[in-house]
Amino acid sequence: MQNSDPSNIPLELFMHISTFVPLRFAPKTLLSLAQGNRYFYRTFHPILYSRLILRREDDAIMAFQRILDLPELGLSVTQIHLMSDLSIETRRNEKPFDVLVGLQMLVNKQLVPRLVALSIYLLESWEYDSDWKPIIGHGRLPLDFWRNLRLACPRLRSLTLRNVGHGDKDRWLSGVVIDELLSFTELTSLRLEFPGDDTGPPEKEKLRILKCLPRFVSLQVLSIGGQELKEGEIFAFEFPNLKWLRLHWFASYKDTTKVMAFFDRHPQLESLSLLDCMHTWFSKDVREGFLPNLKHLKARFEDVRCLVPILPQLVSLAFEESLNAQVPYLLREVLPDGLPNLKSLEIVQEAGEWNSRKLEGALWYETLDGEFRLEKVKKRIPRTLHAFHCQRRSKLRGTRTAGYVV
């Protein structure tokens, strides 16, 4: 075969191919390729640093220190994804050089000028010292860091923050830092996860953030999560380029008029996730043509039920809070022709009897002979994961699923 030598492949093509490797597999995959031979080392070592996926604090410290020692490596960095359950020393700010100090130094010294995406996931866990006393502390990034980030990384377009603090007592950013973040109006992806307890921002700060979201006119990806946030502000807005929306811990109106109007203004949406959200989000008069580009949906069974007319267009579907065999009921009784485009199905199912007579499909089941029944006596409801057996027997009737989870 002519031109089979990999050295004939342009570096840009290798970099493009590497972007298709999922984040969770990228470090090991690219490192293995870099160890193949000298040419692959020269090719994939910079690519390995182009997407820094750091799950352990020690690994992050080593990576940041290496860039500080070899500043030319920083020119390869386009993404930093930091996920860390911070050590006791870091929480107490006792280390002269920890993972957060290292990140600040990279930004303050302008060593990552081509950074496009920054994700900081500071995980929550219970930590105790040698005397079994709880550790008080969290990840803190000072105001100077956020100010320098904008100047040192002008290409930044994606920002994800979870449990990132500012002061010694606050586990979320102060109002001054929020003002700095709101100046990143060129962002195309913004993910904010507020702490779900009293250490999170006051309600007025959350509302201020929500009210300022229209500044990000280029947003294609928006994810907002927190403790019982109100959606009244966000659903009054319009994001002309929004394609991916995730809302976590939002409380919707019982009147779905504003919510439906919001989705009518965003027909370009391709992915929608409504996680741990209260009340019903959609009206029961949804027609074909609603959200015509939607391909991926994750929501409560009640909301999915309202969207039955558009479900056949989905590629992936995930159910939250389904009871007994509600999902098989929907797929067999309500959608007898199946979901012809579906490739992924996920089901979060609970088994229960309380109030199940009032919930559509909760008493439905399929016998071993393939007969469908709606049980009227609660004590005879199958209490196992019957949904799994229903799906395996019926094969979802015309649904081509690559896999499903119960």
In this predicted structure, what is the pLDDT of residue 272? 96
Q: Which residue type is seen at 183?
A: S
In this predicted structure, what is the pLDDT of residue 68? 95
Q: In Å, what is the CA distance from 173 to each residue of 147, 154, 189, 246?
A: 13, 21, 19, 21
In this predicted structure, what is the pLDDT of residue 332? 85
**Is residue 341 within 8 Å of residue 315, measured between CB atoms?**
yes
| Mean pLDDT per 10-residue segment, the chain (406 residues) | 65 76 75 79 78 86 93 92 78 77 93 95 62 60 87 94 63 68 90 67 70 88 75 78 90 75 94 82 90 96 93 94 86 88 90 66 77 62 41 42 42
Q: In Å, what is the CA distance from 255 to each residue of 95, 112, 232, 268, 269?
A: 52, 47, 11, 24, 22
Strands (E), 30-183: 51-54, 79-84, 117-122, 158-162
Domain boundaries, the chain: 324-406
Strands (E), 281-390: 296-300, 316-323, 344-350, 364-366, 372-374
Q: Which long-range contacts (CB under 8 A, 24 or more apart) does 259-262 make?
A: 259/231, 259/235, 261/235, 262/234, 262/235, 262/236, 262/237
What is the DSSP code string of 34-71?
HTS-HHHHHHHHHHHHHEEEE-SHHHHHHHHHHHHH-G
**Is residue 49 within 8 Å of residue 75, measured between CB atoms?**
no
Q: 137: alpha, beta or left, given left = phi > 0 and alpha = psi -120 to 50?
A: left
Q: Is residue 224 classed as helix, strand or coil in its secondary structure?
A: strand
In this predicted structure, what is the pLDDT of residue 229? 59
Provide the token pair at 247: 């809302």
| C-alpha–C-alpha distance, residues 321 and 348, integer Å | 6
| C-alpha–C-alpha distance, residues 164 and 324, integer Å | 39
**Residue found by looking up tokens 């609603």 in the block:** 290
In this predicted structure, what is the pLDDT of residue 271? 97
Q: 91: which DSSP letter?
A: H
271-275 and 296-300: which strand pairing?
parallel
Tell if the pTM clears 0.85, that is, is over it.
no
In this predicted structure, what is the pLDDT of residue 277? 72
